[in-house]
Amino acid sequence: PGLHVLAIAFALEVSVGKTNTVMALNNSDVLLPCTFTTCIGFQDLVFTWYFNSTEMIYHGKIKSKASEPFLVGRNPRVEFVGSTTGKDNNISIVLKNVEFSDAGKYTCHVKNPKEKNAQHNATIFLTVVQKMVETDNTLTLIIVGVVGGLIGLLILFMLIKRVVLFIIKKTQDGKKECLVSSSGNDNTENGLAGSKAEQKAPPKA
């Protein structure tokens, strides 16, 4: 199972940056960052932003690296601010006039047909506050305690994954080549069972 996760994570990687929690002021605009990387390129790639896993708030498509995304559908309060012709494949959005009801989970989901429809996503948790206050430290600690319990495991998992990916990238000598041929990666349980999958195991971290 471990190999399978690495193969797919390495082929199509979606990231929301260093932290996956964002705090926004009520009635302000907030940036929800997301970038993706793919080592064999992409064609007709589809990306979708979801609120609390079910509500689609932005849906876009990108023909190729040479073109910017075009809009398929969106919530009127959401604005696309990314760019895919630059260095990063940036598919970030801005949520305008944030309300308390906007607090929750935002998922950036990417699907790449060129990689046997390999799909990946990354999640941001948005908190909305009335005002940015110089809080009493005990309150901050309580909040951190509660939130930390919930997302501590998630962050730990992300960190381990990042370290493993970093080690793999280091062994690549800067070349963006897939370790495992992505022809077999279709995000199913037998992700390595593709006919052309190279029998080359990634280096053990």
Query: What residues make up the domain containing 30?
Result: 18-129
Strands 118-129 and 21-25: parallel
Q: Is residue 28 part of a domain?
A: yes
Helix (H) or strand (E) holding 167: helix 137-171
CATH of residue 48: 2.60.40.10
**């000598």: which residue's tokens?**
173
Mean pLDDT (whole number) for 49-55: 94
Q: Which residues contact 114 (CB under 8 A, 6 or more apart)?
A: 38, 40, 41, 42, 43, 44, 45
Using the predicted structure, report yes or no on whether residue 102 has a pLDDT greater than 90.
yes
Percent of the chain residues topping a pLDDT of 90: 36
Q: Is residue 176 part of a domain?
A: no
- Among 47-51, 103-107, 116-120, the minimum mean pLDDT is found in 116-120
Are 110 and 14 in contact by the 8 Å Cβ rule? The answer is: yes
Bigger pLDDT: 85 vs 187: 85
Are 79 and 58 in contact by the 8 Å Cβ rule? The answer is: no
Half-sphere exposure at residue 128, Cβ-oriented, CA atoms within 13 angstroms: 17
* Per-residue pLDDT reduced to its tens digit, 152-199: 656 666 766 776 666 656 554 444 444 444 444 444 444 444 444 445
* Per-residue pLDDT reduced to its tens digit, 133-148: 555 555 555 555 555 5
User: How many domains does one find in the chain?
Assistant: 1
| Rounded Cα–Cα distance for residues 53 and 179 (Å) | 31
